[in-house]
Homo-oligomer: A and B are copies of this chain.
Amino acid sequence: MHSPDHPHVDHVARYAADIRERLRARSPRVHCITNAVAQNFTANMLLAAGAMPSMTIAPEEIATFVAGADALLANLGTFDSERRRAADIAIAAAVKGEIPWVLDPVLIDRAPSRAEYARSLLVRGPKTLRLNQAEFTVLAGDETGVPATIADFARDNEVVIALSGEIDIVADATRTAKIGNGHALMARVTAMGCAASALTAACLAVESDPWRASAAALTIFGIAGQIAGESANGPGSFATAIIDALHGLDGETIVQRAKVA
């Protein structure tokens, strides 16, 4: 669907279509530090997109894996001490190798120690911060708890914000995309946010503009969810169907279905 009155919409949809094809063509390696709840689903979503996941968190070898990867995801879910050590080493390797990485501060609204740790990672230069509104409010709140605006926070931290919700918002200091794809069942399947973050990392591996990569990731993810929702009988079959949908998704379908404002 071309929208001559909203060229912005068409642009994101076209980037997304192009980036989706690049994933299939280049098969980027994405190393994921993620929680055990999410590992299997995340790996299968990355494979469905065309990427190659790896997931080790052993301190002895994670630097080697990250150095050989094209992007890194650091997800704070079920964050035990070994994962924390692994994240430190992995992020150092990513920074050294100029490998783009995504920070996903899962559930920092539930535990203060986790929020503090997320802040300490944010200054180490992730390209994208993928999170939901409750998590953003914690991270972006000032001393009185009032959060910064998304664009201000993005500018101050030199990071793209990819905020998942009924409408996804992807913003850097100057650009904002609002993505209206997705499906209600996405909130009823565990690890959906984690998988969206992993797909964002994959897109960063094949697109150097992190805002474009992040907007493309959430557009692709939302469209796969919409397609899955058309055949699912509930959250179980939805989780299976979104993997199939992402695997089969082509650029043309993305351009047709993208709802970006």
Give the number of residues in A that approach B within 8 Å (Cβ atoms): 54
A235 to B41 CA separation, bound complex (whole angstroms) = 11
- Given the known interface contacts A111-B65, A234-B247, the answer about A79 and B58 at a Cβ–Cβ threshold of 8 Å is yes
Contact partner of A44 (CB less than 8 A), chosen from B36, B68, B235, B245, is: B235
Contact indicator A79/B64 (Cβ below 8 Å): no
Contact indicator A110/B243 (Cβ below 8 Å): no
**Per-residue contact bits, chain A 22-52, to B (CB 8 Å; 1 contact, 0 not):** 0000000000000111111101100110000
**Per-residue contact bits, chain A 81-109, to B (CB 8 Å; 1 contact, 0 not):** 11000000000000000000000000100
**Per-residue contact bits, chain A 223-250, to B (CB 8 Å; 1 contact, 0 not):** 0000000001111110111111101100
Contact indicator B188/A47 (Cβ below 8 Å): yes
The quantity of this chain's copies bound in the complex is 3
**Interface residue? A11 (CB, 8 A):** no
**Interface residue? A57 (CB, 8 A):** yes
A56 to B200 CA separation, bound complex (whole angstroms) = 24
Tell me which residues across on chain B come within 8 A of A199, comparing CB atoms: none
**Interface residue? A78 (CB, 8 A):** yes
**Interface residue? A112 (CB, 8 A):** yes
**Per-residue contact bits, chain A 1-39, to B (CB 8 Å; 1 contact, 0 not):** 000000000000000000000000000000000011111
Tell me which residues across on chain B come within 8 A of A58, comparing CB atoms: 78-81
Please name the residue on chain B nearest to A44 by beta carbon: B190
Contact indicator A247/B236 (Cβ below 8 Å): yes
Tell me how far the C-beta of A233 lies from the nearest C-beta in chain B, rounded to whole angstroms: 5
**Interface residue? A178 (CB, 8 A):** no
Contact indicator B64/A190 (Cβ below 8 Å): no
Contact indicator B56/A235 (Cβ below 8 Å): no
Contact indicator A48/B113 (Cβ below 8 Å): no
**Per-residue contact bits, chain A 46-76, to B (CB 8 Å; 1 contact, 0 not):** 0110000111111111001100100000000
Within 8 A of B (CB), among A129-146: none
Contact indicator B54/A107 (Cβ below 8 Å): yes
- 13 of the cross-chain contacts (CB-CB < 8 Å) are A36-B36, A37-B55, A38-B40, A40-B191, A44-B190, A48-B234, A55-B77, A56-B77, A80-B82, A234-B245, A236-B242, A236-B244, A237-B240
Residues of A within 8 A of B (CB): 35-41, 43-44, 47-48, 53-61, 64-65, 68, 77-82, 107, 110-114, 188-191, 232-237, 239-245, 247-248
> 10 closest Cβ contacts across the A-B interface?
A236-B243, A234-B244, A43-B190, A236-B240, A234-B247, A61-B111, A236-B244, A36-B36, A37-B39, A56-B78
